[in-house]
Each structure stands twice: as C-alpha cells, then as structure tokens.
C-alpha cells in the first residue's frame, strides 16, 4: 500500500479509463503552466518543471494537457519535464481548438485538421501513441460524425488508444458513442457549477470517466460562516481542499484535475485526497449547488 504521506494522491482511489488504463482519481491539469491568457511560456519555467515532477512524486498518474495550451508550450514542457514517462503515467491531451491570440479559442473540427493535431501532439509529447485523446471542443460547423469519425480512424491506425470528449451534452455524447467508444468526458463541473449533472449521470451508467475542469471553483460558497467554510474548519482544511474532496466523494467516476503553477499550491491540492467526508457532509455540500 502506498504511504499517504509520501504519495497522498493514492488515497483518492483508482479508476480504469477505458477498462485498461488505471489511474489515481486525483489528477493534475497542466493548463496553468503557460503565460497569461493561456498563451506563451510560463512566467517561471523552472518552477513549472518542478510542479510537473513533484506531481508525479506525489502519486499523480493522470496529467491533462492540450495542444492549444500555449499553444504547444504545455505539451513541450511536459515532455521536457517527464519524458521518458513512468509506466503508470497517463498523459491525456486534446485537439481541435485553435488559438488566434491570448484568451481566444476557436474550434476547428475538420478531419484534416484533427489528423494534423494528433500528429503534432505525438511529436511534441514524444509518444508513439496517445493513450487518451480528447476532442477539445465540438465544432458547430462540422458534423459531429465527421469529427468523431476522424478520431476513430486515428484510433484504428494506432495513433490513439482511447477517445474522449470535452464540453458536450448528453445528446452529443450518445451520438458520438455510435461511431467510437467514448471513455472520458471533460465538462465544467464543481461545487458551485452543476450544469453537467445529466452528463455525469450518463457517465456513471456507462462507466465513462468524468473529468471536471475548473474543479476548485467555490465562488460565494466559501464565505466565512457558511457550510463549506465550517466543514473545512472541521477537517483543518481549506474550502478549496473540501471542494476537491467533495468531487472525489460525489461519484466514483469523477477524476478531478486541479491545476496550479506553484509547487506549494500543488501540495495543498493533493492533500484533498486524504480527506474523508461523511455521507451527511457530502449531502450538505451537494445541497449548496
């Protein structure tokens, strides 16, 4: 058994993505390891390298990135810090979001562009195959069948092992499942934002990993004197740590990927894996949303 003081992330439990990729449920989202507006190099490249290496030391086995982060900066940084990758480390990346400039995002789901995205990510991450490749955003100007179909072809070619989606509705997910097995969904979901409850429920039924992005958001729920703040105080934890612990308790298919650009903040985040909530606490926190 892993020592929780050395690899605390192991306490979050495991989930097998696609049935054959076991990961610790608390992962790391690398998006913040870029410049302002998710554009350009990080302010402190050495610290960014330290964050990635420390995450693995702490037991993180799922790191989420995308070609659009930087763009390209994030994937190159991960390869520099961690290649050759540990056998149990899953680097999940995404494509089909173009970057005209800082804080600008424009989906492009044309099959020819997706093929270009996958080849670029393979090269930057120094991989022969991407174990989890996610459609970063559905392009409303391209039929979903064509977008997912392109990923299915890339899977058949051996460039992708598993396919995931990001920011989709239940209807889009069900349609995509007609063309290729979908093993993960990455939607906005946290203690304050619950718009994807129906998608989460579908993922639970289907055994699909649900990867909530922006998992640390607590908004006004963290105000002093509130249920979240009181629960955090009981556990000698921060409201953000409780928000992560709630996600881990909310559903066994949830794989939170909190991000940060600082080692100290990373260590605070992963401590959430060791927090045990009672059923009553989970219910009280769930009622806040």
Can you tell me which residue has the tokens 């179909």?
149
State how far the Cα of 153 lies from the Cα of 111, in Å rounded to an integer.
Answer: 10
Which residues lie below 8 Å from residue 13, measured CB to CB, with a gap of 6+?
Answer: 24, 25, 248, 252
DSSP 100-162: SSTT--EE---HHHHHHHHHHHHHHHT-SSEEEEEESS--TTS-HHHHHHHHHHHHHTTSEEE
Active-site positions?
Answer: 69
- Euclidean distance between CA atoms 95 and 135, whole angstroms: 6
What the block records as the tokens of 146 is 């064509």
Phi, psi of 134 (to 5 degrees): -115, 135
- Report the alpha-carbon distance of residue 66 to residue 257 in Å, rounded: 13
Two tokens, residue 62: 């799922």
Cα gap 226→258, rounded to integer Å: 23
Ramachandran bin of 84, using left for φ above 0, alpha for ψ from -120 to 50, beta for the remaining angles: beta
Element (H, E) at 269: helix 263-270
End-to-end Cα separation, the chain, in angstroms: 35
Token pair of 145, please?
């069948």
């Amino acid at each position: 058994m892993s020592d929780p003081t050395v690899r605390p992330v192991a306490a979050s439990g495991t989930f097998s993505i696609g049935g054959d990729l076991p990961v610790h449920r608390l992962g790391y989202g690398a998006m913040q390891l870029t410049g302002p507006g998710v554009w350009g190099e990080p302010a402190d490249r050495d610290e960014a390298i330290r964050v990635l290496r420390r995450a693995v030391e702490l037991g993180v086995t799922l790191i989420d990135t995308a070609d659009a982060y930087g763009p390209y900066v994030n994937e190159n940084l991960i390869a520099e810090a961690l290649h050759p990758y540990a056998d149990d480390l899953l680097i999940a990346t995404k494509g089909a979001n173009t970057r005209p400039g800082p804080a600008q995002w424009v989906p492009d789901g044309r099959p020819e562009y997706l093929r270009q995205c996958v080849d670029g990510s393979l090269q930057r991450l120094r991989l022969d195959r991407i174990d989890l490749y996610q459609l970063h955003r559905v392009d409303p100007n391209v039929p979903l069948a064509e977008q997912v179909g392109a990923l299915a072809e890339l899977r058949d070619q051996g460039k992708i092992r598993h396919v995931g989606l990001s920011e989709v509705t239940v209807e889009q997910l069900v349609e995509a499942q007609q063309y290729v097995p979908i093993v993960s969904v990455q939607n906005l979901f946290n203690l304050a934002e619950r718009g994807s409850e129906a998608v989460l429920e579908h993922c639970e039924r289907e055994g699909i990993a649900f990867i909530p992005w922006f998992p640390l958001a607590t908004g006004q729920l963290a105000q002093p004197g509130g249920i979240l703040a009181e629960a955090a105080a009981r556990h000698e934890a921060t409201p953000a740590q409780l928000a992560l612990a709630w996600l881990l308790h909310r559903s066994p298919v949830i794989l939170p990927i909190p991000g940060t650009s600082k080692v100290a903040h990373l260590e605070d985040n992963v401590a959430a894996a060791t927090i045990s909530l009672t059923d009553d606490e989970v219910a009280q926190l769930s009622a806040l949303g």
